Structure 1
């Protein structure tokens, strides 16, 4: 199979292709927490700002932080004037809701710092992949670990993060977030934009990574050329003690 080899612009590919795949997750969390007029929400790892835009449309006052400069610039373009988007999380918070829809183990130190300054009862939401058997994308993600010459990298243990940050568990949920793409090329660009494959690309060759992603996508290509991958994401809700 010939690799796609299309020019990639990761931040824009994330904004235009991949970010929308998690809209059902964002909606489910906002519905559960009653995010709306009067809510004050901070998005950690806010990407190019779609989740913040959705919260703002509900009437919430929002702010975000993401270490990817290009994504931050896109978020600033699409969010209303006056919304603060930074590349480092604030040292203190005055928000009702803190979200980390793309939680990783590396978020723990910053999360501890934030929650020390947050008011008791502040909601903290962490989200990540659901059970591997419920995620069609899981075999594709294993490619990243193998090509980077490291062991399998399952999603973070969300409950352990809650405990490590000293938060009080307050519930959890699972949400169906299928990944749908117009074609294989769009799927490859979207998946590469997640950042999961960055280490693999550095360790091998971009063409090899693309080739293996395309091969793993083959079972999910439909007769019309579109790609459909059912996935389930899990989120946990916790409260500052």
Structure 2
């Protein structure tokens, strides 16, 4: 095994080095692509000084920063240490485990403080157990508060679909079924999660979130930072994954060398009624 910070034997970065690179690329390149989604949810729910926001899977925290700029009280949960560190560098309160770290005594039976808005902007589409995530979000929301869930929109309206297929194609065949980013985009999928968590559906919407990059290298780095290609890189090698992502991006290259893909994301709002 390569030491931390050293290159692996196949020429790829060591896991910790790769994680740091991915986190930085997410914060500097990819995260801003979802700003229209964040703002649409905040406008819909009139987020402001009376709102307490908990971001589940908040990554490097841009969505929390936007909520804080509206006057909201914000806290985040991010299990990945490198992303959590970047969020904390932005003076955000971001924890690795809401239940453990917010508990004053860590005792059994303690309940985490509830919030008037709990969001899952990026985490829902990639978590291994979406139903558990939505149930946790419901438990962390005050009665009368809201849960906001985000997924990819219909695959036929997302030009990034072909690029995301690289992640599935180059992953271990025994694990491919675990990554299906558009499963929750199917009609009724999120609604079932909402109902099973005891929440009341409160509407939602579609938001255009173009993925736009100044050049091909930035596009590859930004997409890799999403985390969905990590299993493919582990199985097929990072060099092959980069090559195939670049090939999938060629239809979206512009004459000036920039890259732009039109995408649609969907958000769903639910209310905790009791």
Is the pair's TM-score, using the shorter chain for normalization, greater than 0.5?
Answer: yes
TM-score normalised by the chain length of structure 2? 0.81
Range moving further from structure 2, 22-31 or 102-111: 102-111
Separation in structure 2 between the aligned mates of residue 114 and residue 196 of structure 1, nearest angstrom: 23
The one-character-per-residue Cα deviations of 1:39-82 (angstroms, maximum 9, x if unpaired) are: 11000110100000000011000000011110000000113xxx
Alignment of 1:19-58 (within 5 A): 19-58=31-70
Runs (4+) of structure 1 exceeding 3 A deviation are 5-8
More off after superposition, 188-197 vs 113-122: 113-122
Point out where structure 2 has 5 or more consecutive residues left out of the alignment. Answer: 1-11, 100-110
CA-atom RMSD in angstroms: 1.8
Contact 1:89 1:110 in 2 (8 A): no
Q: Secondary structure at the match of 1:121?
A: strand
Compare CA radii of gyration and give the structure with the larger one. Answer: 2
Other-structure match for 2:142: 119
User: Which protein, 1 or 2, shows the higher relative CO under an 8 Å CA cutoff with sep ≥ 6?
Assistant: 1
Runs of 5+ in structure 1 lacking a partner? Answer: none
C-alpha distance after superposition, 1:166-203 (max 9, x if no partner): 21100010000000001110000000000000110111
Verify the 8 A CA contact 1:41 1:97 in the aligned structure 2: yes
Q: Is the CA contact (8 Å cut-off) linking 1:21 and 1:178 kept in structure 2?
A: yes
Report the Cα offset of residue 118 of structure 1. 3.2
Q: What pairs with 1:1-241 in structure 2 (closer than 5 Å)?
A: 9-79=21-91, 83-90=92-99, 92-102=112-122, 103-104=124-125, 105=127, 106-116=129-139, 118-148=141-171, 149=173, 150-151=176-177, 153-155=180-182, 156=184, 157-241=189-273
Deviates more, 1:122-131 or 1:86-95: 86-95
May I ask how many residue pairs the two structures share in their alignment? 234
